[in-house]
Chain A
Amino acid sequence: MWIASGASACGTCSVGDPTLTVVGFEQPKASRVRTSAALRHRSDSIGESGVDELTLSEQRMELAGAYSPTDRLSLYLMMPLVHRLITEVNLAEANVWAPGDLDFRVRGVVWRDRKFAPRHLVSMIGGLEFPTSSIEYGPDGRPLPLEFQVGTSSWDPIAGASYTMFMNPWSVYVASMAIFPTTGTADTRASISVRQTALGQYQPWDFLAFQLGVEFRFDGPGYIAGVRDPNTGGNITYGTLGIVGVPHEKVMLHATGAIPMVQRLDGTHEEGFAFTAGLIYDI
């Protein structure tokens, strides 16, 4: 019941390759529509433990849709609903439920080795984060610091490139992405962020694949009212381990855990384990 009955009937196979790909990694196929829902958890701590530490536990539900009008182009829209629990060093808590920033991306395949069942894809990515997140205010009527906001509430352009290799049962995905935030909530400017992803996937069966990867992120400094936030900037490298499965021909499930391996974040800033689980439905 849980195993896809035939690889030829699945959405991924209609593009000439049986590789299981999550949204954003796949080969575009004209008129293909995919929807997805993902839950993400991450934790973060800023400040000195027992002195002025601020801890953050964040859960996001991301509802997304991807549409490919042609074999070379994919449009991707994602809307997050964010829950943030911020705990101050004196155990005071702020609990926030709010919509985050809408994310729109366009991915265009600029090179592929062949039209049917390509083994190599090179894509360019452009996008924009919209300031759709709500602004949280304190009792004095002033916007709270960026850590307390569920988004940047700024227009943030995105640019990047990716390379995907399909060599059944192996596949590789490498991407570089940069986000350039503009000034947003409370005169804050979030960090410019450059992200590098390298992911290898092994798919021993049609219905199941395993992923192993590395994610590197470099952040520039963030500013609040023109003053640098000392706990922003630096770089961090995560090791990721994931699994992708197909319980039904139109449904794909995936889960990924990410462990920080190297943290060189500026100031007193430490990021914790992150986890993502999601469902993709091919329409």
Chain B
Amino acid sequence: MRVTDGIEVDVAYQPEATPAQIRTDMDYRVALDRALIVVGKVELLRCDNFVSDLWALFAPARARAHVLDTPTSLGVPLVIDLMESAGTPEFAGTLRPPPGRYCGMRVLGMPADPDAAGLSDENLEMMQHSVLIAGRVVDTSSGEESPLLARIWEVFDCEMRFDRPLVFDSPVLETISIQIDHTSWFDGIDFALQSSDAVQQQITENVRSSLRAVLADASAQL
């Protein structure tokens, strides 16, 4: 039997390296002890369907026990420990989409399944959380230090556009890197004034906006 590969898209997560302290845009310094995120599903979006897919953002996201892989989506949840990843890419899998034009990716953050990749005895609580952050916050103006604990259990969608459409009309291998910049997760938060609920809400929004889908040649230019 002779087998020839078709259209394949390798997907990898690429978190930023975690600095000892993260300086926020509101002059706080955040020192992280733990930072974990669970990615439940990653999906390639057709340009034709981009509008309708965006519309789907407004519908409540549904958590499913286990999402199956399809040619345009990877369904095995992956627990990413941002403290250990140190800027190294984490391979998520290979998509095998049909020919067409693709304009973006959708990532679904959700609590892990028992068989999620990266789930261990040390992070079992990620079966209840999409994102877990623990550390300390220092107010640079007063020098006051307070503990930081954010547990996001909700399922959230994150939709990202490519800087150019991916057009597949013949067998090819592409690579997409989903960059996670968790150094921006604490921007726009005034820890001294905002309630813990408001902080958590803002972190959720920041997690969404911290993801970027970068095509291989574009990332090479960066």
A50-B100, A52-B70 known; A91-B7 Cβ under 8 A: yes
Q: In the complex where A51-B70, A51-B71, A52-B70 touch, is A89 in contact with B98 (Cβ < 8 A)? A: yes
Q: How many A-B residue pairs have CB under 8 A?
A: 53
Q: A90-B7, A94-B3 are in contact. List 14 more A-B contacts (CB 8 A).
A: A50-B100, A51-B72, A89-B71, A90-B71, A90-B99, A90-B171, A91-B170, A92-B3, A92-B96, A93-B3, A95-B3, A95-B4, A96-B1, A144-B1
Distance, CA A53 to CA B100, complexed state (A): 14
Per-position binary interface string of chain B over residues 100-112, scored 1 when its CB falls under 8 Å from any chain A CB and 0 otherwise? 1000000000000
B6 within 8 Å of A (CB atoms) = yes
Question: What are 6 A-to-B residue pairs whose CB atoms are below 8 Å?
Answer: A51-B71, A51-B98, A88-B96, A90-B171, A91-B171, A92-B4
Quick check: is B5 within 8 A (CB to CB) of the other chain?
yes
Please determine whether B96 and A90 come into contact, CB atoms closer than 8 angstroms.
yes
Q: Among the listed A50, A53, A92, A96, which residue makes an inter-chain contact with B6, where contact means beta carbons less than 8 Å apart?
A: A92
B8 within 8 A of A: yes
Contact of A136 with B1 in the complex, beta carbons under 8 Å? yes
Q: Is the interface of B mostly helix, strand, loop or mixed?
A: loop
Residues of chain B with a CB closer than 8 A to A53's CB: 98
Asked if A91 and B3 sit within 8 Å, CB to CB, the answer is no
Q: Which residue of A lies closest to B8 (CB)?
A: A90
Within 8 A of A (CB), among B1-23: 1-8
| Nearest chain A residue, comparing its CB with the CB of B170 | A91
Sorting the interface of chain B by its residue count into under 10, 10 to 19, 20 to 34 or 35 or more gives 10 to 19
Q: Which chain A residue has the least Cβ–Cβ distance from B7?
A: A90
Q: Which one of B4, B70, B96, B100 contacts A93 once the chains associate, using CB atoms below 8 Å? A: B4
User: CA separation between A89 and B99, bound complex, in Å?
Assistant: 8
Give the docked Cα–Cα distance between A107 and B6 (Å).
46
CA distance A165 to B72 in the complex (A): 55
Considering the complex, give the chain A residue whose CB is closest to the CB of B4. Answer: A93
Query: Is the CB of B93 closer than 8 A to any CB of chain A?
Result: no
CA distance A50 to B72 in the complex (A): 10
Q: Is B89 an interface residue (CB 8 A)?
A: no
Residues of B close to A144: CB separation below 8 A:
1
* Contact (A92, B71) CB under 8 Å given A50-B98, A136-B1: no
Chain A residues 79 to 98 lying within 8 A of chain B, measured CB to CB, are 88-96, 98
Cα separation A53 to B70 with both chains bound (whole Å): 11
B97 close to chain A: CB less than 8 A? yes
